[in-house]
Amino acid sequence: MRFLAIGRHTAAYTAEAAEALMAAEMGTASDLYREGVLREGYMDESYSDAVLLLDAADLQAASEQLTRYPMVRAGLIEFEITPLVGLPAIADAGRPAWWPNDPLPGGEAVQEDGPWRPATLYWSPEGDGEREALS
């Protein structure tokens, strides 16, 4: 299962404390990446918040993996973890009413490849048959 984890500084965070743990922090990130847990990692514009995409069996497993980070163990950062549901899971649950066969605001969506999982979705802004591929 995929998770979005956003790490934020706690009140205990100081630049000095973070700097002392940075090499170990990057080592942990590298380990998690090699193990297939950390799929992608980003920082916000100010380099203060980490944004991670993780793969784990469940929310508890994702949380346990994040506790491997030295700054988490030291109480300098904490993560807000959100489970993500991908489009295949939505598809398996049944076609939502808003999916591509329904008109989009100001135009019409046409799907050509599926029962409803389109490989290409077209958008006609004027509803006039002149189509532009969205994907």
- The pair of three-digit structure tokens given for residue 36, joined into one six-digit string: 């297939």
- pLDDT on residue 92: 62
Specify the CATH number for 2-86; select among 3.40.50.720, 3.30.70.1060, 3.40.50.800, 3.30.930.10.
3.30.70.1060
- pLDDT on residue 39: 95
- pLDDT on residue 113: 47
Average pLDDT, the chain: 78
Nearest to 2 by CA among 56, 45, 46: 56
So where are the chain's domains? 2-86, 97-135
What digits encode the pLDDT tens for the residues 3-29? Answer: 999 999 999 999 999 999 999 999 999
- pLDDT on residue 41: 94
- pLDDT on residue 94: 62
- Those residues of the chain that have pLDDT short of 70 are 87-135
SS3 for 74-95 is: CCCEEEEEEEECCHHHHHHHCC
Strand order in the sheet with 38-43: 38-43, 50-55, 2-9, 77-84
What is the C-alpha to C-alpha distance for residues 102 and 10, in angstroms, rounded to an integer?
Answer: 45
Longest dimension (CA), the chain: 62
- pLDDT on residue 62: 96
- The pair of three-digit structure tokens given for residue 30, joined into one six-digit string: 């590298």
- pLDDT on residue 46: 84
- pLDDT on residue 135: 45
- pLDDT on residue 35: 96
What is the C-alpha to C-alpha distance for residues 87 and 89, in angstroms, rounded to an integer?
Answer: 5
- The pair of three-digit structure tokens given for residue 89, joined into one six-digit string: 């899971």
- pLDDT on residue 10: 95
Nearest to 16 by CA among 96, 93, 81, 71: 71
What is the C-alpha to C-alpha distance for residues 83 and 95, in angstroms, rounded to an integer?
Answer: 21
Question: What is the pTM (predicted TM-score) of this model?
Answer: 0.65
Element housing 65 (H / E)? helix 59-66
